[in-house]
């Protein structure tokens, strides 16, 4: 897959439908005296909606089409024929899409589940025809209302992938190799930095269970300020429930690599540094046992947790690590459930 096929941000123009014009008309039929007004109201303009749908994981469609307009309402006609309502326009986006105003700061919608819909622009109401204004004191009104105008604006679509676990680490830490080993995903793998230029998703099936794994582009020092691939992909980490931090066992300074990535997560903020983290020494097949033992001890001291030793090439330690991943997700789910119950607990004093 080329980098062009993944798009996580797009700017689009939306316009709702304007309301239809009300009609001025009088009934004129043979043998019907004083027929009176029969001009009907205009139809309502269409709304612009955004909806999260299944089967999409990129905003690439919005690179080629940037203008989306709902249909206007039909004008009212004589003989009490009301104008037709305009059709709505729906922007279909992947789950995890956020919609911002043009300032890129004001959040309009955050779509986190399939089927979620949000109205972005409301269509104009149709204008009243002259029949609406008929009364005992005004039996022949000769005016009608215009329809309400459309709403038009530019919006920003920003996708943050939703995954159970996000793979983080320096470039060439073995993230893409790990993803290709445990899922059916086929990321690009090579021996140079920044092989991965866009996030990739893979579904991991292990012991009759499933989780979604996101391979995130390598972080380097200064990534939160836009250095290297930049902070753009750190936003995808926000959606992950837990992190799997891979450290290259054959790298020049594995402890330093761990500190660099942790520093970027903390500098970026948004709660990334507080997410549950599993740490694994990858590419263990390229290091000797003595070095691995020393690195495990040093990394365990830095991370404050167990360090797993794996090799995606030989399969060493992969089952143990995947078991730990599922266990971490189960613990996270229990914690969230307990917090929800605590927040929702009722008492007479509340």
Q: Does residue 349 lie within any of the structural domains?
A: no
On whether both 245 and 153 belong to a single domain, the answer is no
pLDDT of residue 343: 56
* Residues 6 or more apart whose Cβ sits within 8 Å of residue 305: 277, 278, 279
Inside any domain, residue 327: yes
β-strand pairing of 277-282 with 307-309 = parallel
Residues 153, 183 within the same domain: no
pLDDT of residue 344: 54
Alpha helices in 29-140 (DSSP H): 61-64
In a domain? residue 60: yes
CATH number of the domain where residue 260 is located: 3.40.50.300
pLDDT attached to residue 182: 86
Domain boundary among 125, 159, 193: 159
Beta strands in 277-345, from DSSP E residues, in sequence order: 277-282, 307-309
Q: Which tokens belong to 132?
A: 């609406």
Residues 205 and 106 in one domain: no
* Domain's final residue, options 104, 130, 159: 159
Tell me which residue range forms the domain holding 305.
Answer: 165-344
* 2 domain residue, yes or no: no
pLDDT at 342: 61
331 and 191 in a single domain? The answer is yes
The tokens for 86 are: 């305009």
pLDDT at 338: 66
Asked whether residue 350 is assigned to any structural domain, the reply reads: no
Domain contains 189: yes
pLDDT of residue 232: 58
Residue with tokens 């943050």: 160
Total domains present in the chain: 2
Q: What is the pLDDT of residue 77?
A: 94
Residue segments in the chain with a per-residue pLDDT below the cut of 70: 1-6, 32-34, 184-199, 218-233, 335-350
Report if residue 136 sits inside a domain: yes
- What is the rounded distance in angstroms from the CA atom of residue 335 to the CA atom of residue 338? 5
The reply to whether 108 and 186 lie within a common domain is no
- Structure tokens that stand for 208 in this block: 């009759």
Predicted local confidence at residue 40, as pLDDT: 95
In a domain? residue 256: yes
Give the residue from 143, 159, 175 where a domain finishes. 159
Q: Looking at the structure, do residues 66 and 147 belong to the same domain, yes or no?
A: yes
Q: What is the DSSP letter of 58?
A: -
Residues 12, 122: one domain?
yes
> Are 99 and 216 in the same domain?
no
Confidence (pLDDT) at 132:
92
pLDDT score, position 194? 39
CATH no. for residue 51? 2.70.210.12
Kindly state whether residues 14 and 62 are assigned to the same domain: yes
Same-domain check for residues 253 and 291: yes
Check: CB of residue 17 under 8 Å from CB of residue 83: no
Q: Is residue 94 located within the same domain as residue 181?
A: no
Contact between 157 and 62 under an 8 Å Cβ cutoff? The reply is yes
Beta bridge partners of 200: 215
Name 48's bridge partners: 89, 121
119 plus 181 within the same structural domain: no
Q: In what order do the strands lie in the sheet with 117-121?
A: 89-94, 48-53, 117-121
Burial of residue 267 (number of CB atoms within 10 Å: 0-12, 13-18, 19+)? middle
């Amino acid at each position: 897959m080329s980098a062009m096929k993944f798009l996580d941000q797009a700017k689009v123009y939306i316009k709702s439908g304007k309301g239809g014009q009300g009609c001025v008309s009088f009934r004129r039929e043979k043998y019907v005296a004083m027929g009176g007004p029969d001009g009907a109201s205009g139809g309502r303009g269409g709304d612009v909606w955004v909806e999260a749908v299944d089967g999409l994981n990129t905003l690439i469609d919005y690179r080629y089409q940037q203008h989306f307009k709902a249909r206007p309402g039909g004008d009212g006609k004589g003989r009490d024929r009301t104008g037709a309502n305009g059709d709505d326009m729906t922007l279909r986006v992947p789950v995890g899409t956020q919609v911002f105003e043009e300032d890129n700061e004001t959040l309009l919608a955050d779509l986190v589940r399939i089927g979620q819909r949000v109205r972005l622009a409301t269509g104009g109401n149709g204008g009243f025809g002259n029949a609406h204004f008929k009364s005992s004191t005004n039996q022949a009104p000769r005016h009608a209302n215009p329809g309400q105008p459309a709403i038009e604006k530019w919006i920003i679509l920003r996708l943050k992938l939703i995954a159970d676990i996000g793979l983080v680490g320096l470039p060439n830490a073995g993230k893409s190799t790990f993803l290709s080993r445990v899922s059916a995903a086929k990321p690009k793998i090579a021996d140079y930095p920044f092989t991965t230029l866009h996030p990739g998703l893979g579904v991991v099936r292990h012991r009759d269970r499933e989780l979604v794994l996101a391979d995130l582009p390598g972080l380097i020092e200064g990534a939160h300020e836009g250095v290297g691939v930049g902070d753009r992909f750190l936003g995808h980490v926000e959606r992950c429930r837990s992190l799997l931090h891979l450290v290259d066992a054959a790298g020049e300074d594995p402890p330093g690599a761990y500190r660099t990535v942790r520093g970027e997560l903390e500098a970026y903020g948004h709660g990334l540094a507080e997410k549950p983290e599993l740490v694994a020494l990858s590419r263990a097949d390229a290091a000797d046992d003595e070095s691995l033992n020393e690195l495990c001890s040093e990394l365990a001291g830095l991370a404050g947790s167990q360090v797993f030793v794996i090799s995606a090439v030989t399969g060493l330690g992969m089952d143990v690590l995947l078991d730990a991943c599922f266990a971490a997700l189960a613990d996270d789910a229990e914690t969230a459930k307990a917090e929800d119950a605590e927040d929702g607990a009722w008492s007479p004093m509340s």
